[in-house]
Structure 1
Amino acid sequence: MKFCDECGSIMHKEDDTWVCRSCGYETGGDAEAEEAMVTTQAQEDGGIVDVSDAEDKGLPTTSVVCPNCENDRAYWYMQQIRSADESETRFFICTECEHRWREDDH
């Protein structure tokens, strides 16, 4: 990926020239640098994979008691849901019953 030296937008390859579609800036290609670039054009579209029934949610687990079933393990993640000057909110998903709850810092 190459960015425009003038406006910072993404440059697009047209023949042997890089062209900025935002401001019109053009620059010549550099074969060695372009060879090192990674593109997604050759990747095949594998479609959407439904992992909603998968046991591993790809999240870390912690020791916390579920208020629904009293299981002692839950997946957790943090998310900023209030203003930026306040702490993030911790969300939990029970590893047994998949009950969801959150814990706020006060």
Structure 2
Amino acid sequence: MQFCDECGSMMKTEGDRWVCGSCGHEELRDDETEREMAVTTQGQEESEVVDTSEVDAADMGPTTSERCPECGNDRAFYEMKQIRAADESETRFFTCTECEHKWREDDH
């Protein structure tokens, strides 16, 4: 698993590169480093992608005053999730109400 140095999002492989789906940052893959990575799926449930493209704005959840880094809009839907250790703060995920750009905010 590789994380983006620019925004911290999880990156995906595309050919000989790691590509960030959030900000588009790319890095060359290193076969030696990847051999050392452990991949486990034991105990994980299969999940599916949820398509929200046809969901009404009223059903998307609460909004907050947050400036979109893509279009400058000042409203975003938000959701909070615990993705790190239980003794660390939750991560806030935002979706712009105008352009639907997605980003996240962590406490550092």
Report the TM-score, using the length of structure 1 for normalisation.
0.50
